[in-house]
Amino acid sequence: MRVGVVVFPGSNCDADVKHAVEVVTGHPARFIWHRETSVDGLDCLVLPGGFSYGDYLRTGAIARFSPVMQAVETFARSGGLVLGICNGFQILLEAGLLPGAMQTNNVMQFRCQETYLRVETVNTPFTCLAQTGQVLKIPIAHGAGNYYVDQATLAELNGNNQVVFRYATPAGDVTAQANPNGSVENIAGICNRERNVLGMMPHPERCAESILGGTDGQVIFRSMLAWWTENRGVALAIGTAMVGDPAGAHPTGAVPADSGAKGCCGRRDGKGGDRGEC
Partner 1 sequence: MVSVSREAWKEMGLTAGEYERIKELLGREPNYVETGMFAVMWSEHCSYKNSKAVLRLFPTKGPRVLQGPGENAGIVDIGDGQAVVFKVESHNHPSAIEPFQGAATGVGGIVRDVFTMGARPIALLNSLRFGNPRNPRVRYLVGGVVSGISFYGNCLGIPTVAGEVFFHDSYEGNPLVNAMCVGLIQTDRIARGAAAGVGNPVMVVGAKTGRDGIHGATFASEELSDASEDRRPSVQVGDPFMEKLLLEACLELIDAGLVVGMQDMGAAGLTSSSSEMASRAGTGMEIDVALVPRREPGMTPYEVMLSESQERMLVVPKQGCEDQVRAIFSKWGLDAVVVGRVTGDGQLRILENGQVVADIPALALTEHCPVYNPVWREPAYVATAHAFDPASLPAPADLGAVLLEILSDPTVASKEWVYRQYDYKVQINTVVPPGSDAAVLRIKGTNKGLAVTIDCNGRYCYLDPYTGGAIAVAEAARNLVCTGAEPLAVTDCLNFGNPEKPEIFWQFRRAVEGMSEACRVLETPVVSGNVSFYNETNGQAVLPTPVVGMVGLLPDISKRATLSFKQEGDVIVLLGETFPELGGSQYLQTIHGLTTGKPPALNLIRERAVQQATLAAIRQGLVNSAHDLSEGGLGVALAECAINGGMGAKVVLPGEVDPLTAIFSESQSRILLTVSPGNLVALENLCHQHGVPYAVLGTVEGDRLVAVDQRGQRVLDLAVTEMTKRWREAIPCLIA
Q: How many residues bind partner 1 (CB under 8 A)?
A: 30
| Axis-axis angle for helices 218-231, 14-25 (nearest 10) | 60
Min. distance of Cβ 215 from partner 1 in angstroms?
12
**Residue 178 makes contact with partner 1 by CB under 8 A:** no
**Residue 51 makes contact with partner 1 by CB under 8 A:** yes
111, 193, 250, 275: which one contacts partner 1 (CB under 8 A)? Answer: 111
The dihedral built from the CA positions of residue 175, 216, 155 and 73, taken in this order, carries a sign that is positive
Contact 58, 33 (CB under 8 A): no
**Residue 65 makes contact with partner 1 by CB under 8 A:** no
64, 118, 166, 203: which one contacts partner 1 (CB under 8 A)? Answer: 203
Considering the complex, state which of residue 7 and residue 71 has its C-beta at the smaller distance from partner 1. Answer: 7
Considering the complex, state which of residue 15 and residue 278 has its C-beta at the smaller distance from partner 1. Answer: 15
203 assigned to active site: yes
Q: Of 34, 120, 128, 203, which one is the catalytic site residue?
A: 203
Min. distance of Cβ 35 from partner 1 in angstroms?
8
Query: What per-residue string of b and e applies to 79-118 under the rule 16 or more CB within 10 Å gives b?
Result: bbbbbbbbbbbbbbbbbebbbbbbbbbeeeeebeebbbbb
Q: Report 139-158 residues binding partner 1 (CB under 8 A).
A: 139, 141, 143
The residues, ordered by sequence, that sit 6+ positions from 263 with a Cβ below 8 Å of its Cβ are 128, 129, 226, 269, 276, 278
211, 240, 244, 259: which one contacts partner 1 (CB under 8 A)? Answer: 211
d(CA 130, CA 52): 31
Contact 85, 17 (CB under 8 A): yes
Using CB under 8 A as the criterion, which residues of the chain lie in contact with partner 1 when the complex forms?
9-10, 12-13, 15-16, 19-20, 49-51, 53-56, 109-113, 139, 141, 143, 203, 205-206, 209, 211-213
